[in-house]
Structure 1
Amino acid sequence: MKLTIYYDGQFWVGVIEVVKNGKLKASRHLFGNEPKDSEVFDFVNRQLLKTLSQAEQEGVRVKAQDQKKINPKRLQRKVSKELKRAGASLKAQEAMKQEFEANKQKKKQITKEQREKIKEQKYLLRKQKAKKKHRGK
């Protein structure tokens, strides 16, 4: 699991990347203004699992990397390179986009059902009024 916090020009954003069974799942959390260490710690302890459980995506397939012992100097170079790079990885962006599309489709389906329900209620009300008008004839 990896949490990356970066400034996107307007807000501070946290991207959570989780690799499970060869699939990468990513979630995004908006911090707003610059988070203090205590706020980040609170987020990790209280809201991180809830944020991850809300993600309803299948994930993006990633190749598994063998965990070998890394030379300390190489590790230090790798860490500094990642610190210079702002934002989330391309795979994480793809995973978040996939989740966004899934949520969009879900919301579209829900609104369509609600619209159909309202249409049906209006139709029944119109029929009821028509019957009421012609009741005595």
Structure 2
Amino acid sequence: MSVTFPSSGCPSFFHIFYEEGIVMKLTIYYDGQFWVGVIEAVNSGKLRAFRHVFGKEPKDPEVLDFIHHQLLHTISQTEQEGVSLKGQRQKKINPKRLQRQVSKEVKHAGVTSKAQEAIKLELEARKQKKKQLTKEMREYEKEQKYILRKQKAKKKHRGK
């Protein structure tokens, strides 16, 4: 299942939004264990991709609820820059060709390689941030242990 925002069959409408750089695509597919939604957002020539695990097969109301209530939160909680796309201009597409492309996308469940690259970059950024926080916590705990040890030593030799 794939949903593109703005969802319109009119290629000229899509063209206007592509030039402005505001295109979102939600692809939901079964990865063998869970139903996964991949959000691809193109903004100013940069592709950002996000992964959301639905778990069991989502029904239409669940997908709409996700879009209306959780989609913006999912997008806003990340700090990734995105993968730059080459400046490709969308020409006016013949309606039959557009219909064939849509049916081809529906048959091909999954994500694009650019989206996978964007997700991988986001994962690497999260790993680096987690690594940095862990290192800072380790340093803080080490400093606290040192201070406690010095206080105990001072207390022990207080009378001498």
> What letter corresponds to residue 53 of structure 2 in structure 1?
L
Please give the secondary structure, in 2, of the residue aligned with 1:96.
helix
Matched, 1:90 2:123: no
Matched, 1:14 2:37: yes
Matched, 1:27 2:66: no
For residues 39 and 16 of structure 1, the distance between their equivalents in structure 2, rounded to whole angstroms, comes to 15
CA deviation after TM superposition for structure 1 residue 12, in Å: 0.5
Structure 1 runs (4+) deviating above 6 angstroms are none
Matched with 2:86 is 63
Matched with 2:148 is 125
Please give the secondary structure, in 1, of the residue aligned with 2:38.
strand
Please give the secondary structure, in 2, of the residue aligned with 1:88.
coil
Please give the secondary structure, in 2, of the residue aligned with 1:87.
coil
Query: Structure 1-normalised TM-score?
Result: 0.97
Matched with 1:43 is 66
Matched with 2:100 is 77
CA deviation after TM superposition for structure 1 residue 65, in Å: 2.8
Per-residue CA shift, 1:69-108, capped at 9, x if unaligned? Answer: 2111111111111111121110000000000000000000
For residues 78 and 39 of structure 2, the distance between their equivalents in structure 1, rounded to whole angstroms, comes to 11
For residues 75 and 40 of structure 2, the distance between their equivalents in structure 1, rounded to whole angstroms, comes to 9
For residues 76 and 41 of structure 1, the distance between their equivalents in structure 2, rounded to whole angstroms, comes to 23
Matched, 1:104 2:127: yes
Please give the secondary structure, in 1, of the residue aligned with 2:136.
helix
> What letter corresponds to residue 81 of structure 2 in structure 1?
E
> What letter corresponds to residue 128 of structure 2 in structure 1?
Q
CA deviation after TM superposition for structure 1 residue 67, in Å: 2.7
CA deviation after TM superposition for structure 1 residue 68, in Å: 2.3
Please give the secondary structure, in 2, of the residue aligned with 1:30.
strand
- Report % sequence identity: 75
**Which runs of 5 or more residues in structure 1 are unaligned?**
none
